[in-house]
Structure 1
Amino acid sequence: MADEMVQRAQRFINTTYNNGATLGIAKLDENGQTGWPVMYALTRALQYEMGITALSDSFGPTTMSTIGAKYGKLDETTVPSANFCRIIQSALYCKGYDGGEIDGTYNARVKDSVAALHKNMGVSVTYPGSALWPKTAKGLFNMDAYVTVNSGSETVRAIQQWLNGRYVLRKDFYIIPCDGHHSRDVAKSMLFAIQYELGMADGVANGVFGPGTQTGLKSRTVSVSSNSTGVWAQLFTAAMVLNKNSVAFGNFTDAVRQAVTSFQSFCGLSATGAGDFPTWASLLVSYGDQSRKGAACDGVTEITPARATALKAAGYKYLGRYLYNPSSTSLPEKAIQPGELATIKEAGLRCFPIYQTWSRSADYFSTQQGTRDAFEAIDWARYHGFKPGTIIYFAVDYDAMDGEVTDYVIPHFRAITRTISENSGYNVGVYGARNVCQRVVDAGYSSVCMVSDMSSGFSGNLGYPLPSKWSFDQISTITIGSGTGSIEIDNNIASGRDTGQGDFNPGVSFDGLDVDLDKSAYRASMLQDVKSYLTSIGVPETGGDGWTDKDWASLGGISTTEAFDAVVDSDWLFTSLARSLRMRKALIQAPVLWELRKLNPGDFLADAAVQAGIEDDCSTGWGQIFASTAIQARNYCIGEGIINGEGKDYTNADDLKEVWNKLHDDQDYNVRTVAYVLLWNSELFGIDRPDLSGDVHVTEAVLGRYNGTGPDAEQYGRELMGLYHVLENYNALSRA
């Protein structure tokens, strides 16, 4: 919603500073909406009016020191010009305060707003009156809120105001938000506050949980009987509140003791009920007290008998190992090695598997990648012999911003969960920063989480509490053992929510399974052979079935090349399905390519009739499948234990509608269902299921049944059998 006075502020910048050119920025949109672009522009304008030549978006040390040196404070007696005052007035409006008429006058309305700003910041005792001081001016020219927003906590806001009021005069302490939400800035301000109370001088205190801070806190235990009142009790209860513990900010009462005991038990600390050093550490930094020895670890080094002995002697029970290493040169022992799980079992240890390929930037994560990762993880878990019920941890190994979690990570894990739950007996875990873990768990796409708390500087760790369903808390990298038993590990605290696996099935071989098509070698020749074959049976590049090329294209028809490209571009999905179901990839590809090429206006009209509620069902999507057929095929596969899920009723209108919409809108779901229909077809014929042998009689029979029964279906099977052979030829070349 546009604000007239913010719009006037934007117009003031544009008209006064040559549409932003004087300030080195683009012209502001005069939309009446506060945001970083207008705050940056106002900051640059302030710098320009003070004679700073190197203009910057940042209200940094130079801007602050210039205000202090030139004016001391900003009020009606020191503001040097009308435009300078208009900049302050504009900033007030952008922060939600009355700035007067943006008339260049530091008048009573401006004074009242500055006083209100200081009160909201919690610094009105330190800075009484109506003058802006360098640090409060810095707080004015940013997007921090000083009132609760988005359901912020009033208790958290009181803590934020208290911190500002108590420490604002310290050199390196700057005004923090008072919005009722914990954050990176608030977390760092707590460390500064503790360092100041420990007696560290300005310039020594740095907001880092270093050796000096740790040593000081070891003698600052708070409890019902020790330091129960005063600043240390306030700091400790503040830390408890910021970690989402329900206590009152202030004294260390018996109620606080009970909450501390619960917090300690939750974090895997000794439940003393006192604010001792390990508890301080867990409240202040994500990794907590790194001298703790966990019962779990993970690493990229093979567990040999000597290393297993060393780990067990050091108290480790649960070992995290990687299912797969995509690199053939880097970290040669990262993936589980042959015989390693037997070594772990023999030592009486347990293993939990981790799946990670890249996963170190937002653009890695997507619905498609999540599906592919899940299928690959299933493949490798079976290869190594992990039993059903195993939790596989999928990694988010970078500092994902909250918006990236929403846009990329959550859809990625939604796809992982769907694939894992439908195609295996495994469960999903997430590895990542606290915010990533909690959000994926809250979304229902992970049962537990492994927390990368060593990355204490991650924005997803700073200001976030330990996730509610943490299983392993990764806090330090250490070396265990010596000689041949020496091994570097990531030391993890274990919650007991996951104890890994101590026994394993015989591994499932990859022999004979399809692999991704070698597109660089075979794509062009494969397309040519597909086109030649289809042309030989009366299916040209475009048109056919009585349609001219022109009419075919205008009505949405798909050419042979377009159908081929769609299938080959989704080769990863066909490969994954074929490997999971232990059948030939070409068998799934053939009907999909054929049905895509054969799409015609009648198919589009049938879809429209179902969408309009005129018809209940029709064939739809890439594989042109009826919802009733899909339900029966999926029910068969569920009953046979081929896939997991709940059966549906193909005579029920609601079930038909739900499945039809998935078939129409979700081509991943549609292609999966093609494979399930082919398996069901073998049951209808009472013949063996399609398998890796590629038996021609089974293959032709199930392809023909895809189009029903009778002579037309038999011809369909014969025609698709030829297409199958073309596709299988190149899949076999890629497997070789």
Structure 2
Amino acid sequence: MAITIHPRATWGRYVITNRAHAEAPPEVSDNPDWDPRAGVFIHYRGGGIPGSDYPDEEACQRDIALVYTEHTFDDKFNGDIGYNFLICRHGNIYEGRGYERGEANQRGVTPEGWLRNANFFSICALMRADHVAGETLLRTFRALIQHLRETRGTGPAIYPHSFEYPETACPGNLHMYAKPGSTIDPNFPWTGVGDIYVYAAQRWVNETYQDVPGYVRCPEHGRTGWSTVHSLTQALQHELGISPVVQSFGSATFTAVKNRNRLPAQESNSNLIRIYNSALWCKGYWNDPDLDDWTLESQNSLERLFGDAGFAYTDDALRTRMWPHICKALLRMDQFKLVPGGDPTIRRVQQRLNQRYVAQVGIPAMSLVPCDGYYSRDVQQGFLMSIQHEIGIDLGTINGNFGPGTQAGLRGRGSQPLSGDLRYLFRAACYFNSLTQQPAYQAGDLDTDVETAAHTAWVRAFQHFSQIPQTGTNDYTTWAQLLVSCGDTGRPATGCDCITEITPARGQALYAAGYRIVGRYLDEHIAPGDPSYLGKALKPGEPRTILNAGLRLLPLFQWNGTALANFTYDKGYTQALRAHEKSVEHGLPPGTCVYFAVDYDALDADIDSDIKPYFRGVADGLAATGNRYGYGVYGSRNVCTRVSREVGARWSLVSGMSWGFSGNLGFPLPENWSFNQIREFDFQPGWGLDHDVWRDGGDPGVSSLVSG
């Protein structure tokens, strides 16, 4: 990797004594053991000088000159600066001893038998003890390490100067990066800048509880995440007498916090205080760097969290009653601040859900919903629980599921003229679903019982978009469509798909039942005779049979597609070539849209890492064959929306019947939905069918065949 290393002369000019030596190229090492093929040691400048924030490059160069003077004062570094290279916050790399022997790693050997000063390069960051590394400095470390590996054969080891040398705190706030696999290791993906206080929490919780039965260590990298809050949760459980500890804040933990009945300000257990302080840092609330004490900053942060969740901390009874809920929220990844891109109106609804249904009603199964301005899975579950209460379901049986009791309540109380809280919840559901609706639902209609023209117009527009009866009212079908991805599974639909061959008799049966298009698979990657073989591929002549029955054909393509490992760019490209081949073989006309399947609950991280590259491969594969065919996407609402917007899928076939998928909870229908798969059932004995709503004006499917 090409990098720029500034020669010694750039800083040597600021040396007062021995300037000529300082400016000269580094002397060749006379150490016969010099062979830096093990890796690198990471150092920092250390100490603290008021105002030493390295405001410009000259300040950095002058400080390197000072390092040289310090290192040559008593000849402890063999008459030269001890570091091979020095890096500054501006992204510059300066030559110290260069590629010659370093002297700064401390004498001795590593557990692997490598000589610390002879087999490692030493790299020093111009950082004082109170400095925090920024992205520019870390990326420069990464680039230099990659350069040393590529040009000097340096190995993968990355150690902090303090490794097996506890007499030093070096490299200070760089400790979280001074190890293989960190963000400065070019053999691993860039993961960004860590937080020194999160890192301190991670180190402390691992060191303190590593021997507790059931405890699972969290990574020590300064980035918060589920692994960190799970470790803090296990620490909390241990301090409250729960054994063995587990990685979830369940009913036993909630009850233990409730029974202890102490807010942090009254807590005497120093470890619990440290857990709460650490959790606040991980939650993104600025806190006292000293995690051992509950300080005014700690208290202010906790009060802000109470307020962000929708509660007034000044209410003594309320804060005591809500503390177990707040404690649980602290030890989850839910956000309670309005995050970038979040909607303030959604946040206001979220806070009202907490105030009304957690604090006032006290639904036993309901946790605090996030207050980040996003309609997400956790918000959806709390929202459904709130509706269940308002339609009369007993508190002890409320569970957040869209089951028979909820459906019956919505057909009854929910479909009558609404007022008060249930009216508010219906309109909140409208607002949540307005992300793909134009015009958007008016926030002002949330707080009035008046049936405004804007409200009615939006409901009708939503019903039209979702292809349900346009009543303009809160009927059951509209409630269902607002709340779950499958909607009203009993509503009629003209589309279907299956793995079963469509014979003339089956085609006639489908047509008689009101279906007008049927989805069939172009190919199957499993060979006959394999226990997993389904025989789902379209048979020769079957497309003509389908069309002769008065139906249209919806071509699907799925080679497995049920796990993240099934999706890569190369697989997308290869499968696109196969889809083209089979489409031509079956006589599908140019312009036909083939739907490629993501048949599992892919998370956003999966979509970014593998699903999008897979569909880019699909697009490139179809382009390589002349773009005779287009491509669509089958998957959850979130998968369909993101692949369509970010990669370019023409149409979406939504797996709406998988209403429990996280990608279907809290996400509206994609703008380009053409089919919504809402129910699976046995159409005839031994013949399973998926019931698909076919959108008017959507993908027309295949209505004719061509040869060649």
TM over 0.5: yes
Is the alpha carbon distance of 1:154 and 1:479 closer, same or farther for their aligned partners in structure 2, counting shifts above 3 Å? same
Compute the displacement of 1:105 (Å): 4.7
Alpha-carbon distance between aligned partners in 2 of 1:202 and 1:73, rounded to the nearest angstrom: 27
Is the alpha carbon distance of 1:397 and 1:127 closer, same or farther for their aligned partners in structure 2, counting shifts above 3 Å? farther
Compute the displacement of 1:494 (Å): 0.7
The reply to whether residue 181 of structure 1 matches residue 374 of structure 2 is yes
The reply to whether residue 277 of structure 1 matches residue 476 of structure 2 is yes
Is the alpha carbon distance of 1:28 and 1:362 closer, same or farther for their aligned partners in structure 2, counting shifts above 3 Å? closer
Partner of 1:117: 305
Partner of 2:461: 262
Report the AA paired with residue 690 of structure 2: D
Is the alpha carbon distance of 1:12 and 1:363 closer, same or farther for their aligned partners in structure 2, counting shifts above 3 Å? closer
The reply to whether residue 488 of structure 1 matches residue 688 of structure 2 is yes
Report the AA paired with residue 114 of structure 1: L
Q: Is the 8 A contact 1:421 1:427 kept in 2?
A: no
* Alignment size in residue pairs: 497
Is the alpha carbon distance of 1:338 and 1:74 closer, same or farther for their aligned partners in structure 2, counting shifts above 3 Å? same
CA deviations 1:293-331 (Å, max 9, x no partner) are 211111111222222222112211111111112332456
Alpha-carbon distance between aligned partners in 1 of 2:700 and 2:233, rounded to the nearest angstrom: 54
Compute the displacement of 1:108 (Å): 4.4
Q: Is the 8 A contact 1:121 1:177 kept in 2?
A: yes
Q: Kindly report which structure 2 residues correspond to 1:657-736, keeping only aligned pairs within 5 A, or say none.
A: none
Report the AA paired with residue 229 of structure 2: M
Is the alpha carbon distance of 1:427 and 1:193 closer, same or farther for their aligned partners in structure 2, counting shifts above 3 Å? same
Alpha-carbon distance between aligned partners in 2 of 1:164 and 1:255, rounded to the nearest angstrom: 28
Compute the displacement of 1:31 (Å): 5.3
Alpha-carbon distance between aligned partners in 1 of 2:201 and 2:637, rounded to the nearest angstrom: 39
Indicate the SS of the match to 2:397: coil
Partner of 1:197: 390
Is the alpha carbon distance of 1:386 and 1:32 closer, same or farther for their aligned partners in structure 2, counting shifts above 3 Å? closer
Compute the displacement of 1:347 (Å): 2.0
Is the alpha carbon distance of 1:34 and 1:349 closer, same or farther for their aligned partners in structure 2, counting shifts above 3 Å? closer
Is the alpha carbon distance of 1:159 and 1:23 closer, same or farther for their aligned partners in structure 2, counting shifts above 3 Å? farther
Is the alpha carbon distance of 1:7 and 1:446 closer, same or farther for their aligned partners in structure 2, counting shifts above 3 Å? closer
CA deviations 1:366-414 (Å, max 9, x no partner) are 1111111011111111111111111111111111111111111111111
Partner of 1:393: 595
Is the alpha carbon distance of 1:289 and 1:26 closer, same or farther for their aligned partners in structure 2, counting shifts above 3 Å? closer
Is the alpha carbon distance of 1:296 and 1:136 closer, same or farther for their aligned partners in structure 2, counting shifts above 3 Å? same
Indicate the SS of the match to 2:351: helix
Partner of 2:252: 62
Compute the displacement of 1:5 (Å): 4.2
Is the alpha carbon distance of 1:431 and 1:103 closer, same or farther for their aligned partners in structure 2, counting shifts above 3 Å? closer
Match among 208, 219, 233 for residue 401 of structure 2: 208
Report the AA paired with residue 692 of structure 2: N
Extract unaligned runs of 5+ from structure 1: 509-736
Report the AA paired with residue 613 of structure 2: P
Is the alpha carbon distance of 1:222 and 1:118 closer, same or farther for their aligned partners in structure 2, counting shifts above 3 Å? farther
Q: Is the 8 A contact 1:366 1:409 kept in 2?
A: yes
The reply to whether residue 299 of structure 1 matches residue 501 of structure 2 is no
CA deviations 1:493-526 (Å, max 9, x no partner) are 01131121122124x6xxxxxxxxxxxxxxxxxx
Q: Kindly report which structure 2 residues correspond to 1:519-530, keeping only aligned pairs within 5 A, or say none.
A: none
Farther off after superposition, 277-286 or 143-152: 143-152
Partner of 1:171: 364
Alpha-carbon distance between aligned partners in 2 of 1:338 and 1:27, rounded to the nearest angstrom: 56
Alpha-carbon distance between aligned partners in 1 of 2:220 and 2:515, rounded to the nearest angstrom: 61
The reply to whether residue 82 of structure 1 matches residue 270 of structure 2 is yes
The reply to whether residue 236 of structure 1 matches residue 426 of structure 2 is yes
Is the alpha carbon distance of 1:101 and 1:398 closer, same or farther for their aligned partners in structure 2, counting shifts above 3 Å? closer
Partner of 1:657: none
Is the alpha carbon distance of 1:357 and 1:351 closer, same or farther for their aligned partners in structure 2, counting shifts above 3 Å? same
Is the alpha carbon distance of 1:113 and 1:283 closer, same or farther for their aligned partners in structure 2, counting shifts above 3 Å? same
Partner of 1:534: none
Partner of 2:702: 501
The structure that is helix-richer by fraction is 1
Alpha-carbon distance between aligned partners in 2 of 1:28 and 1:362, rounded to the nearest angstrom: 24
Alpha-carbon distance between aligned partners in 2 of 1:24 and 1:141, rounded to the nearest angstrom: 18
Partner of 2:668: 465
Match among 598, 611, 614 for residue 412 of structure 1: 614
Partner of 1:659: none
Report the AA paired with residue 325 of structure 1: E
Q: Is the 8 A contact 1:239 1:283 kept in 2?
A: yes
Q: Kindly report which structure 2 residues correspond to 1:345-384, keeping only aligned pairs within 5 A, or say none.
A: 345-384=547-586
Q: Is the 8 A contact 2:588 2:706 kept in 1?
A: yes
Q: Is the 8 A contact 1:452 1:474 kept in 2?
A: yes
Farther off after superposition, 364-373 or 302-311: 302-311
Q: Is the 8 A contact 1:222 1:233 kept in 2?
A: no
Report the AA paired with residue 555 of structure 2: P
Partner of 1:53: 243
Is the alpha carbon distance of 1:41 and 1:487 closer, same or farther for their aligned partners in structure 2, counting shifts above 3 Å? closer
Q: Is the 8 A contact 1:220 1:232 kept in 2?
A: no
CA deviations 1:190-234 (Å, max 9, x no partner) are 1111111122223311111011100110124569xx32x411221
Q: Is the 8 A contact 2:363 2:398 kept in 1?
A: no
Compute the displacement of 1:474 (Å): 0.4
Match among 335, 340, 352 for residue 542 of structure 2: 340
Is the alpha carbon distance of 1:399 and 1:82 closer, same or farther for their aligned partners in structure 2, counting shifts above 3 Å? same
Q: Is the 8 A contact 1:195 1:207 kept in 2?
A: yes
Report the AA paired with residue 364 of structure 2: K
Report the AA paired with residue 40 of structure 1: H
Q: Is the 8 A contact 2:546 2:552 kept in 1?
A: yes
Alpha-carbon distance between aligned partners in 2 of 1:307 and 1:103, rounded to the nearest angstrom: 70
CA deviations 1:143-192 (Å, max 9, x no partner) are 21101113111111111111111111211000121111121111111111
Alpha-carbon distance between aligned partners in 2 of 1:466 and 1:338, rounded to the nearest angstrom: 35
Partner of 1:250: 447
Compute the displacement of 1:53 (Å): 1.9
Compute the displacement of 1:430 (Å): 1.1
Alpha-carbon distance between aligned partners in 1 of 2:594 and 2:690, rounded to the nearest angstrom: 18
Match among 630, 643, 652 for residue 449 of structure 1: 652
Partner of 1:476: 679
Is the alpha carbon distance of 1:372 and 1:286 closer, same or farther for their aligned partners in structure 2, counting shifts above 3 Å? same
Partner of 2:348: 158
Report the AA paired with residue 281 of structure 2: Y
Indicate the SS of the match to 1:133: helix
Compute the displacement of 1:3 (Å): 4.4
Report the AA paired with residue 514 of structure 2: G
Alpha-carbon distance between aligned partners in 1 of 2:590 and 2:612, rounded to the nearest angstrom: 24
Q: Is the 8 A contact 2:522 2:582 kept in 1?
A: yes
Partner of 1:13: 205
Indicate the SS of the match to 2:332: coil
Match among 72, 79, 83 for residue 261 of structure 2: 72
Q: Is the 8 A contact 2:636 2:663 kept in 1?
A: yes
Q: Is the 8 A contact 1:23 1:45 kept in 2?
A: no
Alpha-carbon distance between aligned partners in 2 of 1:107 and 1:284, rounded to the nearest angstrom: 44
Partner of 2:57: none
Compute the displacement of 1:76 (Å): 3.6
Q: Is the 8 A contact 2:392 2:409 kept in 1?
A: no
Alpha-carbon distance between aligned partners in 2 of 1:295 and 1:111, rounded to the nearest angstrom: 59
Partner of 1:601: none
Alpha-carbon distance between aligned partners in 1 of 2:610 and 2:218, rounded to the nearest angstrom: 30
Output the TM-score relative to the length of structure 2.
Answer: 0.66
Compute the displacement of 1:82 (Å): 2.4
